[in-house]
Chains A and B, each alone.
Chain A
């Protein structure tokens, strides 16, 4: 739906899709309302539950980092709607390539909070089974997962060709579902942020995705900050505007509104499965916390940050909407108790897991002995031995 070109927007900035406003009031949209209407009360309550759990998990992890139990934590605070609602719109056989902040998407996918912790505790590099959930590992190299996702989507097209020629179902590198039972053709979703969108990897991915008509949804959570660089510095136009330059559709949605995020994602996945090429969704949300536990946002964020952006918090908005639909107080109490227990479970799990000896990571780089690994090991040992005794 890029609007007609005008002198003010010569490339056509996509309209902002918002189905539910900040007060929880819902309005109709000609294209997207039908998708949002799929959501039952149960769906909405489950999404709310996952969003609250995500936040409680996030806060517990931040506290654990402050208590010296985690090396680092990457908060998702404020982005729960964008993550949870988009993941809910996927089919079980779709593949998710997350960044390192997409805890809500993972929890929605059925991954346990505890399974997200090992990378940050240093007890393992990956805590969940990627093949069980079709969720790939967190990628710490900024934007690299966008390339991986695009390549995977191109591979799905090749699988489809082999299937067409041989009549045999292709399963790629293994996946969560039985291909014979799949109701829908698989597609790929890649999560990244506005900061990553500035990287060359994202550009290359979009060029290749367009050239090969790859079934990949570029889901960018524009949270307003690339660590300390405000979005206004990064781009003159909304990121969704860029899709037109690659020749595919870009959607711009209110990322704090579960309805529009869900609807836009469902719409995009339909297009991908129909072979109508890649789609980009820009979910406009806001990073309420720091970039990671290692930075201090008060050094670069405006003074009136809370006053301006706290009202955009997706949780109270969905709560108000649920109440307006007649959801009882008992539900909210139940969620509060459940998530509190969830926080305790994560704490126990983290405190009982042991950070791994660093050298074991070196052992796993190659199957056979390798000179570079031994050099790295020697360097590491010399480095750690190089500190003064205290």
Chain B
């Protein structure tokens, strides 16, 4: 019967090591603590002593191969004549006066240099939004990257906790990018306004976290006027029941906001573009006009209580629409990172099929091509697509005077089977209002 030695974790929480060189060959007889192999981990080069006595039957990994911890690396036969008699560990010659020998063996035990690759550790699941809102647990699971943790002094942190406010949502104005007491109070004051104005339409109560229920789709039976409208729409324009609308927007404040974010320490190293503000605006507006985030199936309209926000991207493989899963759960900074990742992967042609499935709504950034607007075609299975035109300085009338402002055109196509022009218009106006005054995002 063979004894299998699995690669141990010789460091603390390391997940893999490279086989540098085997010190034994198939057929060799080894005793306990004989050195079998030299491995290199992210921390050091070490020799692994044999835990078994017997004959080497198989080397199960090749030199140069990177092996996961707990994978089998060598098979050693049982049935050695004296399996109980272990050898002295290689590093030890306890009674030897030969100090040269002892020194050489000592050097062999400990490593001889670092591995340049970063330490790989066991992968963790995505941040768990339910755990932070679970009332029973009074701790915060710090699964988010440390860098994204908002800075704040302990009293502010405590106050935010008491008020149920996530500090990451508060715009920091402190010198080191920390959330100040004033920031928190401002945020809290704003937070209460929209809720009292539009009861029942609170975005936070609309979205459902993944953990709340597997079925986050609200099913509204298609009947009556809705059914008739849909049938009429398909009949009159079966190939493309699209309704397309446009609006010009003064996006000057969005440009200022983007500039401020770029300078903010919290966004250091992160690409910030007006598209980020638009994406956030679309998520916000979708919560206020849920029908835009839906699917038509002839028998029912499925309203999605989550936002997998697609971004149409021109890639080497053609047009792709990868989407940011659960984009409604991301704060501005996380959304920026997700956008960067998504576009970078798309540009490199690394987008996976899973990243393109289950989209709920799409933005096409035609402005990046210098286009003002267009009538985009809805991504199949979705109800709306937003076209983001180029932003350029144009004459704009403010209080009877013509002044140069940064102006863009928002366009959108909507599935007329699901929603009519008034709802589409309300949605697009909501998006436009954010571009005109991004400070409204703070109400989210």
Known contacts A343-B89, A344-B84, A66 near B94 by CB under 8 Å:
no
Known contacts A59-B91, A296-B43, A339-B94, A67 near B122 by CB under 8 Å:
no
| Nearest-Cβ distance from residue B128 to partner chain A, whole angstroms | 7
B103 touches A296 (CB 8 A): no
From B90, B106, B114, B125, A288 is in contact (CB under 8 Å) with: B106
A246 to B107, CA, bound (A): 41
B92 touches A55 (CB 8 A): yes
| Nearest-Cβ distance from residue A334 to partner chain B, whole angstroms | 10
A288 to B110, CA, bound (A): 11
What is the 8 Å Cβ interface bit string for chain A, positions 352-390, against chain B (1 contact, 0 not)? 000000000000000000010001101100110011101
B122 touches A387 (CB 8 A): yes
A63 touches B33 (CB 8 A): yes
A66 touches B49 (CB 8 A): yes
Q: Does B51 contact A (CB under 8 A)?
A: yes
Q: Does B47 contact A (CB under 8 A)?
A: yes
A56 touches B88 (CB 8 A): yes
| Nearest-Cβ distance from residue A43 to partner chain B, whole angstroms | 19
| Nearest-Cβ distance from residue B101 to partner chain A, whole angstroms | 10
A52 to B97, CA, bound (A): 12
Within 8 A of B (CB), among A47-87: 52, 55-56, 58-60, 62-63, 65-69, 71-72, 77
B95 touches A52 (CB 8 A): yes
B113 touches A299 (CB 8 A): yes
A226 to B112, CA, bound (A): 20
Binds B, one of A30-38, A126-134, A188-196, A307-315: A307-315
A56 touches B94 (CB 8 A): yes
Main secondary structure of the interface of A (DSSP, over half): helix
CB-defined contacts of A69 to chain B, threshold 8 Å? 8, 51
Within 8 A of A (CB), among B59-115: 84-86, 88-92, 94-95, 97, 99-100, 102-104, 106-107, 109-114
Q: Does A298 contact B (CB under 8 A)?
A: yes
B12 touches A62 (CB 8 A): no
A289 touches B92 (CB 8 A): no
A72 touches B12 (CB 8 A): yes
Q: Does B124 contact A (CB under 8 A)?
A: yes
CB-defined contacts of A204 to chain B, threshold 8 Å? none
A59 touches B110 (CB 8 A): no
CB-defined contacts of A311 to chain B, threshold 8 Å? 99
Count residues of B near A (Cβ-Cβ below 8 Å).
54
A332 touches B95 (CB 8 A): yes
B141 touches A382 (CB 8 A): yes
Q: Does B275 contact A (CB under 8 A)?
A: no
Known contacts A294-B11, A313-B102, A343-B88, A383 near B141 by CB under 8 Å:
yes
Q: Does A290 contact B (CB under 8 A)?
A: yes
A315 touches B10 (CB 8 A): no
Q: Does A273 contact B (CB under 8 A)?
A: no
Which of B50, B90, B91 is packed against the most chain A CB atoms within 10 Å? B91
A316 touches B88 (CB 8 A): no
Known contacts A294-B43, A340-B88, A387-B122, A52 near B94 by CB under 8 Å:
yes
A181 to B76, CA, bound (A): 56
When C-beta atoms are compared, the residue in chain A nearest to B107 turns out to be A306
CB-defined contacts of B124 to chain A, threshold 8 Å? 386-388
What is the 8 Å Cβ interface bit string for chain B, positions 20-58, against chain A (1 contact, 0 not)? 000000000000110000000001111111110000000
CB-defined contacts of B85 to chain A, threshold 8 Å? 344
A386 touches B10 (CB 8 A): no
Known contacts A375-B137, A388-B123, A388-B124, A296 near B45 by CB under 8 Å:
yes
When C-beta atoms are compared, the residue in chain A nearest to B114 turns out to be A299
CB-defined contacts of B43 to chain A, threshold 8 Å? 294-296
B102 touches A310 (CB 8 A): yes
Known contacts A296-B43, A306-B103, A313-B99, A388 near B122 by CB under 8 Å:
yes
From A56, A319, A320, A371, B92 is in contact (CB under 8 Å) with: A56
| Nearest-Cβ distance from residue A46 to partner chain B, whole angstroms | 16
Q: Does A44 contact B (CB under 8 A)?
A: no
List 6 A-B pairs, minimum CB-CB distance, nearest first.
A68-B8, A296-B44, A59-B92, A306-B103, A59-B89, A63-B89
Give 16 pairs: A residue, B residue, CB < 8 Å, sorted on A.
Answer: A59-B88, A63-B33, A67-B48, A290-B110, A296-B44, A296-B111, A299-B113, A299-B114, A310-B100, A310-B106, A315-B95, A343-B86, A375-B137, A379-B141, A383-B141, A386-B124
Known: A63-B90, A66-B8, A66-B49. 13 other contacts (CB 8 A): A59-B91, A60-B89, A71-B12, A289-B109, A289-B110, A296-B43, A296-B44, A297-B110, A306-B107, A336-B94, A347-B86, A379-B137, A388-B125
**What is the interface of chain A, defined by CB distance below 8 A to chain B?**
52, 55-56, 58-60, 62-63, 65-69, 71-72, 77, 288-290, 293-299, 306-307, 310-311, 313, 315-316, 319-320, 332, 335-336, 339-340, 343-344, 347, 371, 375-376, 378-379, 382-383, 386-388, 390
